[in-house]
Amino acid sequence: MAGSGCGWARAVRGLLLDVSGVLYDSGADGGVPIAGSAEAVRRIKASGLKLQLCTNETQATRENFVRKLRALGFDISVAEVTAPAPAACRLLRERGLRPHLLVHDDLVPEFAEIDKTNPNCVVLGDAAENFTYANLNEAFRLLIGMEKPVLISLGKGRYYKETDGLKLDVGAYMKALEYACDVQAEVVGKPAKKFFESALAELGVPAEQAIMIGDDIVSDVGGAQQCGMRALQVRTGKYRPSDENHPEVKPDAYVNNLAEAVDIILQQL
Amino acid sequence: MAGSGCGWARAVRGLLLDVSGVLYDSGADGGVPIAGSAEAVRRIKASGLKLQLCTNETQATRENFVRKLRALGFDISVAEVTAPAPAACRLLRERGLRPHLLVHDDLVPEFAEIDKTNPNCVVLGDAAENFTYANLNEAFRLLIGMEKPVLISLGKGRYYKETDGLKLDVGAYMKALEYACDVQAEVVGKPAKKFFESALAELGVPAEQAIMIGDDIVSDVGGAQQCGMRALQVRTGKYRPSDENHPEVKPDAYVNNLAEAVDIILQQL
């Protein structure tokens, strides 16, 4: 992969990085850094390239998420994280929506300032252990009882990998509620174009000078390419060999891990 | 509805009845009979019309289901019930499939004779309280780990009504697993044509002389019509007024409840 023929790495001014599966493998134990990734983040910053994390993480507030990343050795600040919950709060305010939340307990503080009385929409995140039969029925009943059900989903991932195995992601539960209520969810997070655009705005680099690096062939790679970015798939995290035969999405390149991507990109600067 | 203009009720020799929402409203408390339905079943039998229950019930073995119906006042025997689990067992045997079961505890005995070691498919029923985050992740991991994932769903209902409110049905969880694993489930139960055909065979009456009576506009009414039966929607159970504007399915008639349907049908005999 390295050496000549890496035209995809030219004229880069900023990187968007997915987090889980690229920087670390998440898990109930807090997770494990992927070898070389913390050093790769330091090298990106030292090179003068801009960097923004673009994550669908909805199991914690950005503050707690950054605290966890720092404990794992990543030099990251809150402003360097683009995540669905703050984007959802902007959308709720713009449209006067009052959410019923089916999200992880640790995400709830992100919605502290939002009026949640007499809900007129449901916001679905990766609720993990909160995806109980009772909670899903409650969200369903609220939706089906609305004159015009509004379902907002923080991402639409199929699954992700934790240290103890693969887990169903929010997208699976979104599909369950979509089907039961015959509605289509509005997705806030990757691969929504609007979400990538806000990440680029925070990165401060136009799409054609940015590269997205992720482990999800559809959400990370496909979504970023639809916004005019180049996109790499790492062979870490939820990557599976069958991704390389994906019928619709073809990354600009595959790399074994973030460290290899950064090696190649820095050689072209 | 009664009186003249009920051509749909002519030349009938047998009735297929949905159960939950037609005979009774189910619930954790055992459920409550719908007024007039037990008497209607007696009148059907006294008239000489054939009768078969055609249910997607998967929260109990047929034996226990019939015991519950009898306790609620319905004169029904096990042979008069067509249900998904026995049909699924036939399919598993025919194809040498060894299921991992994600079903209600009370349904497990239906699969007693089936080899369940080293599963090569997942069978999904209305697992109710067994639809936990852990159980869904387990079924997902088994499926995604199969070279060719096989998901068999006992019905694909969106939701049903219990005495304490609407509940998500198996179809919603089927959609979650379908999306996560990028597979299409095989449905055993209504509205699958093969399932209606076995109910008709057990009824012993050809499609054109049978009427299906149910509360589910898609699964009961649409499914039966696709098999060449006439079909009525009752305004009990999960019926909602918006069903009467369904974009695809139009029942042969609406009736307020089973008793009214039987009144009209018996008048035409």
Contact yes or no for A144/A110 (Cβ under 8 A): no
Let me know: does B228 contact B205? Beta carbons within 8 Å: no
Note whether A114 and A136 are same-domain residues. yes
Same domain, A134 and A50: no
Q: Token digits for B74?
A: 């319905």
pLDDT band at residue A163 using 50, 70 and 90 as cut-offs: confident
Residues A137, A152 within the same domain: yes
Sort strands B186-187 and A253-255 into parallel, antiparallel or unpaired: unpaired
Q: Which of B165, B167, B180 sits opposite A168 (nearest CB)?
A: B180
Bridge partner list, A186: A152
Q: Give me B186's structure tokens.
A: 């095989």
Give Cβ neighbours of residue A248 (< 8 Å, ≥ 6 apart): A218, A222
Contacts of B165 in chain A (CB under 8 A): 137, 141
| B129 contacts in chain A (CB < 8 Å) | 133
User: What number is the ipTM of this complex?
Assistant: 0.86
**CB pair distance less than 8 Å for B177 and A172:** yes
Q: Do strands A121-124 and A165-168 pair parallel, antiparallel, or not at all (unpaired)?
A: unpaired
Alpha-helical runs (H) found in A73-114: 84-95
Contacts of B137 in chain A (CB under 8 A): 165-168
CB pairs under 8 A between A and B: 80
CB contact under 8 A, B173 and A176: yes
A27 falls within a domain: yes
Nearest chain B residue (CA) to A141: B166
Residues of A with CB below 8 A from B136's CB?
131, 168, 172
- CATH number (domain holding residue A216): 3.40.50.1000
Q: Give residue A37's pLDDT.
A: 98
B208 and B141 within one domain: no
CB-based contact A152:B176 (threshold 8 Å)? no
Contacts of A175 (CB under 8 A, 6+ apart): B175, B176, B178, B179
B159 with B131, same domain?
yes
Query: What's the pLDDT band for A253 if we cut at 50, 70, 90?
Result: very high
Residue B256 has pLDDT above 80, yes or no: yes
pLDDT tops 90 at residue A4: no
Q: Measure CA B51 to chain center.
A: 15
Q: Which domain holds residue B235?
A: 14-56+190-251
Do residues A243 and A166 both lie within one domain? Answer: no
Per-residue confidence (pLDDT) for residue B52, from 0 to 100: 98
Q: Return the percent helix, strand and coil in chain B, to nearest 5.
A: 40, 20, 40
pLDDT tens per residue across span B93-118: 999 999 999 999 999 999 999 999 99
Tokens of A155: 């991402």
Do residue B213 and residue B150 come from a single domain?
no
Count CB neighbours of A147 within 10 A.
Answer: 5
3-state secondary structure of A156: coil
Measured between beta carbons, the chain A residues lying within 8 angstroms of B176 are 168, 172-173, 175-176
Choose from A122, A175, A177 for mutation: most chain B CBs within 10 A: A175
Domain-located, residue A202: yes
Percent of chain A with pLDDT over 70: 98
Q: Are residues A180 and A147 in the same domain?
A: yes
**Packing angle between helix A133-144 and helix A170-181, nearest 10 degrees?**
40
d(CA A120, CA A143): 8
Residues in chain B within 8 Å Cβ distance of A176: 168, 172-173, 175-176
Q: Which of B187, B212, B228 is the last residue of a domain?
A: B187
Residues B95 and B42 in one domain: no
Residue at A234 is within a domain: yes
pLDDT given at position A164: 84
How many structural domains does chain A have? 2
Tokens of B152: 């068999």
Residue B3, domain member (yes or no)? no
CB nearest to A168's CB, from B159, B172, B176: B176
Interface of B with A (CB under 8 A): 128-129, 131-133, 136-137, 140-141, 144, 158-159, 165-169, 171-173, 175-182
Same domain as A178, residue A204: no
Per-residue confidence (pLDDT) for residue B4, from 0 to 100: 47
> With contact defined as beta carbons under 8 Å apart, do A22 and A36 qualify?
no
Whether B243 is covered by a domain: the verdict is yes
Interface mutation vs chain A, best among B133, B178, B243, B248, most A CBs within 10 Å:
B133
Residue of B nearest to A127 (CA): B133
Cβ A168–B128 below 8 Å, yes or no? no
- Tell whether B96 and B183 lie within a shared domain: yes
User: pLDDT per residue over A54-107, tens digit each?
Assistant: 999 999 999 999 999 999 999 999 999 999 999 999 999 999 999 999 999 999
**Phi and psi (nearest 5°) for B261?**
-60, -45
Looking at the structure, tell me whether residues B22 and B99 fall in a common domain. no
Whether A5 shows a pLDDT value over 80: the answer reads no
